[in-house]
Amino acid sequence: MSTYFISDIHGCYKEFRMLLKKSSFNNKEDDLWIAGDLVSRGPDSLKVVKYLYSLKNRVKIVLGNHDINLIAVHAGVKKNKKENCFDEFLSSSDSVELINWLRSQSLLKIDEKRKIIMSHAGISPQWDINTAKVCAWEIEDFLSNDNYSFFLKSIYNNNINFWTLNLNQLDRLRYSINSFTRMRYCYPDGRLNMIYKNSPNFVKYPLQPWFLMPSNIAKDYSILFGHWSSLKGTYIPKPFFALDAGCCWGEELIMLRWEDKKIFSQSFFSK
């Protein structure tokens, strides 16, 4: 049995299935961990989600910002934009069942035996492992609740960018969503910068990639994440594994086999 890690499929179903074939992924024996952004931008979000739904116990998923956006659009909380490529998904007879399945997914996956952590954007350098767990559970509880649409109406706020124990519940949820699904850069005091998206090669101090900040969690765990396709060619320290290679932007989809750290890649198919 092998464990594979992939992120940011973004509806690129053809490339995704080709990559699974290249790696000899066995859906009866192997495990597939996905670090979010299953949907959006690519042409086949519905096919991607339906296939993963069919794998059930062989797949472990954390939600990304685009997955949460799909849930919000389906709930009528946010407007559907052309670049989302959600029309087929939203009109599908399976949409409610699939959305409910997505709502039951996590923001954080941890394998204590192998000391592995997976989230979409990363882990706040201001958190310890117990804080990260509690913050993920809190979001998951609200998202899986029948009143989840009210939760989604309130969580988007770029100004909640610093963690303290004095945050009220709503701001705590806002900070957690930003950290788990949207974070890239931090200031030296740990504040998140929610604006800059470019490669670290073009961003100067005081901004630093979150994974270069001091972290107690990284001393004990390997951390796998996606979300940041412009990291290509950037130095990333050993405990961290970046999984987004920008397939939906015409680049590659990559997958890591954990046991031997082999990386498989599939180039984007031009239309």
In this predicted structure, what is the pLDDT of residue 270?
53
128 Cβ contact partners less than 8 Å away, ≥ 6 residues apart: 216, 217
Q: 3-state SS string over the chain?
A: CCEEEECCCCCCHHHHHHHHHHCCCCCCCCEEEECCCCCCCCCCHHHHHHHHHHHHHHEEEECCHHHHHHHHHHCCCCCCCHHHCCHHHHHCCCHHHHHHHHHCCECCEEECCCCEEECCCCCCCCCCHHHHHHHHHHHHHHHCCCCHHHHHHHCCCCCCCCCCCCCCHHHHHHHHHHHHHCCCEECCCCCEECCCCCCHHHCCCCCEEHHHCCCCHHHCCEEEECCCHHHCCCCCCCCEEECCCEHHHCCEEEEEECCCCEEEEEECCCC
In this predicted structure, what is the pLDDT of residue 256?
98
Nearest C-alpha neighbor of 65 from the set 153, 180, 237: 180
Burial environment of residue 211 by CB neighbours within 10 A (0 to 12, 13 to 18, 19 or more)? buried
CA 4 – CA 240 distance, rounded (Å): 15
**In Å, how far are 106, 148, 155, 174 from 170, measured between CA atoms?**
19, 13, 7, 6
Domains held by the chain: number? 1
In this predicted structure, what is the pLDDT of residue 56?
82
CA 145 – CA 251 distance, rounded (Å): 37
What are the per-10-residue average pLDDT scores of the chain (271 residues)?
A: 97 97 95 98 96 94 98 96 95 97 97 97 96 97 93 92 95 97 96 93 91 92 96 89 94 96 89 50
In this predicted structure, what is the pLDDT of residue 216?
85
Q: Which residues pair with 33 in a beta bridge?
A: 5, 60
CA angle 65, 262, 106 (to 5 degrees): 25
CA 124 – CA 201 distance, rounded (Å): 21
Query: Residue 225 belongs to what domain range?
Result: 3-267
> pLDDT, tens digit, for every residue of 219-238?
999 999 999 999 987 889 98
Domain CATH number, residue 79 = 3.60.21.10
Token pair of 57 as six digits:
């116990």
